[in-house]
Structure 1
Amino acid sequence: MNETQKGYHYNLDLHQDITSIIEQDFWMLENIGPEMLSALSEPVKFASSSWIIITSGHAKVDINLMSYEVKAPMLIAVRSTQIMQPSHISDDLNASVVVMSKRFRENLFLLTNSSSLYQLQSRHSVVPIPPELLSDFINQFKNLREILQDSANPHASKALLFSMATFYYRTLYKCYESFEDELSIPQGRISDRFLNLVQQYFRQHRFLEFYANELEITPKHLSRTVKAQTGFTAVEWI
């Protein structure tokens, strides 16, 4: 069974075949230079969750109309349906990207949703990578590349999934440690409490009214607040 049949592809040509990226469960590209990113003159709506690791250079990007100054080393985590547009890219910019399909992201969610890191990720689309961790990110790409290139491995999908989950708990959490004080605010934000409930009950309860009742607010107020705080409606999260 070849890589395409398994639903994986490595180093897909972004310019010529961008639509087929979202047909893959897991896709990655390394050493993206300013030429490719400069071609994004219009806002791009992401169809899949993506991690963009900036390894050198700097840029300015807008994500859902919020402007961010990006300076290497830095992680940009873009969720599906979010809109991104770079407005400035330095000549020495270099980046690598991982794209995860909805199915892959949901499976990863099942392994990571109990972590407080999930709440922090939903708040912060752009975070600095501590310089001492950059080599860990580079090694993770090497590990993912080796899994993708091993076309004889019938367990590649699980290897990718557990590799990402291990990286999540072993390395990625360190990028969010400076934000952990946000979680100590009494009762937290409505969106944090809502996401905690969704993590517990999403299999049993699919309707907004259940979560609004648990939080003792109206469904309209819940949806409006979650949308304002996370960029997604409550129904989309469920």
Structure 2
Amino acid sequence: MKNLISLNWRSKLEGMENVNFLNDDYYIYRNEKVEPHTGPFKMDMTICGICLKGESKGRVDMIPFEIKAPAISIVLPGQIIEHEYCSDDFEGIYILMSERFNESLNLPDRFSNFLSVRNKPVIPLTDKQLDAMLTYCKMVQSVIKVTDNPNRMEIIRHLTIAFFYGLGYYFHKLPDGTKETRSEVLMRNFLKQVQAFHKQERKVEFYADRLCLSPKYLSQTIKSYSGKTAGEWIDEYVVLEAKVLLRSTNMTIQQIGDELNFPSQSFFGKYFKRLTGMSPKAYRE
């Protein structure tokens, strides 16, 4: 049985003076710096980051992102986040929402599809759009501070529904720019398959079959487009998942190897060391 340990961000946030939160479902705070995490990590909440000043760079599920003020980014529960750079003048507002809270919003279709955030996690904002989002933040913070109001959660829920309807409109209104090439579409679809099945399958043939392509064509196209082979992308995602489990859970190395469908702890250890230069135990420490 897995024994998951959540990153201690909840207790850290609740101990900060500038954080407003309600139960374990909703947090909002202003931050002047993003401290790079020691490695890739996952969150069990949706993270909305409104960039007010400066810029930040990183990767979400291996896809590079860059956010420059004014803009908003959204990371969904379970996505692997890697922070790589944050400018000295960075300033932002962060909103964290639990899956339970998201479900209570009853947004149409799936949450991620409604916002189109898996393919477009960052959206630039006009001054008018930024003002609207800051108004939402101020209203929510005011509601949370009235601690004797028994309807705080319901009020925040309705404010957030309006917020996301407006945000969904902005996402869908964005100009597409240049049309995606076949290689771009294939790369995106390939990574979706890797994200979904990397715990079960590490063979290129499996993903080629899922995409109705020959392994040779898939490998050549991915290599030509990205500079990495399909096998290298698969290995990278498996290692990212392993790093997340090693740093943010108390699962044993054997359990992590089982989770990632390796035949033995020894096989997993050799695989991890070949790709990272260190053993799973050394990385965890």
Alpha-carbon distance change, 157 to 127 in structure 1, aligned in 2, over 3 angstroms: same
CA change 1:67–1:181 in 2 (3 A) is closer
The structural deviation recorded for 1:149 is 0.8
Residue 133 of structure 1 aligns with an amino acid whose one-letter code is Q
Structure 2 contact 115–168 (Cα < 8 Å) conserved? no
Cα separation, 1, equivalents of 2:110 and 2:63: 28
1:27 paired with 2:23, answer no
Q: 1:49 to 1:22 in 2, by over 3 A?
A: farther
Q: Secondary structure at the match of 2:117?
A: helix
Q: Which residue of 2 aligns with 1:68?
A: 65
Pair 1:94–1:53, CA change in 2 (3 A): same
Q: Equivalents in 2 of 1:61, 1:22: separation in Å?
A: 29
Residue 138 of structure 1 corresponds to which residue in structure 2?
Answer: 134
Tell me which amino acid in the other structure corresponds to 2:120: H
What is the letter of the counterpart of residue 144 of structure 2?
L
Structure 2: 5+ residue runs without aligned partners?
1-9, 179-184, 186-208, 212-236, 238-285
Q: How many residues align?
A: 171
- The TM-score with structure 2 as length reference comes to 0.52
CA distance in 2, matches of 1:177, 1:126: 14
> 1:196-236: per-residue Cα shift (whole Å, max 9, x none)?
xxxxxxxxxxxxxxxxxxxxxxxx949xxxxxxxx9xxxxx
Cα displacement (A) at 1:40: 2.0
Task: State the Cα distance separating 1:12 from its structure 2 match.
Answer: 6.8
Query: Which residues in structure 2 correspond to 1:153-172 (within 5 Å)?
Result: 153-172=149-168
Aligned residue for 2:274? none
State the secondary structure of the residue aligned to 1:38: coil
1:107-160 Cα deviation digits (max 9, x unpaired): 12x134389970523421111122321111111110110111111111111111
Match of 2:100 in 1: 103
Residues 67, 15 of structure 1: alpha-carbon distance in 2 compared, 3 angstrom cutoff: farther
Match of 2:29, SS state, is strand
Query: Cα offset for 1:77?
Result: 0.4
The residue that corresponds to 1:47 in the other structure is 44
Question: What are the equivalent positions in structure 2 for 1:210-229 lying under 5 Å apart?
Answer: 221=210
How well do the aligned residues superpose, as a CA RMSD in angstroms?
A: 3.4
What's the CA shift string for 1:70-122, capped at 9, x where partnerless? 111111101011121221111110011111111101112x1343899705234
Q: Percent identity among equivalent residues? A: 21
**Are the structure 2 counterparts of residues 79 and 22 from structure 1 closer, same or farther at C-alpha, using a change threshold of 3 Å?**
farther
Measure, in 2, the Cα distance between the counterparts of 1:25 and 1:116.
18
Residue 204 of structure 1 is matched in structure 2 by: none
Aligned partner of 1:80 in structure 2 is 77
Q: SS state of the match for residue 157, structure 1?
A: helix
Q: Structure 2: which amino acid aligns with 1:29?
A: Y
Give me the whole-angstrom Cα distance separating, in 1, the residues matched to 2:80 and 2:22: 15
TM-score (norm 1): 0.61
2:277 aligned partner: none
Classify 1:76/1:159 alpha carbon distance in 2 versus 1 (closer, same or farther; 3 Å): same
Supply the AA of the counterpart residue of 1:142: K
Residue aligning to 2:119: 123
**Which structure has the bigger radius of gyration?**
2
Letter in 1 for 2:27: W
- The code of the aligned residue for 1:144 comes to V
Alignment CA distance shift 1:114-1:181 (3 Å): farther
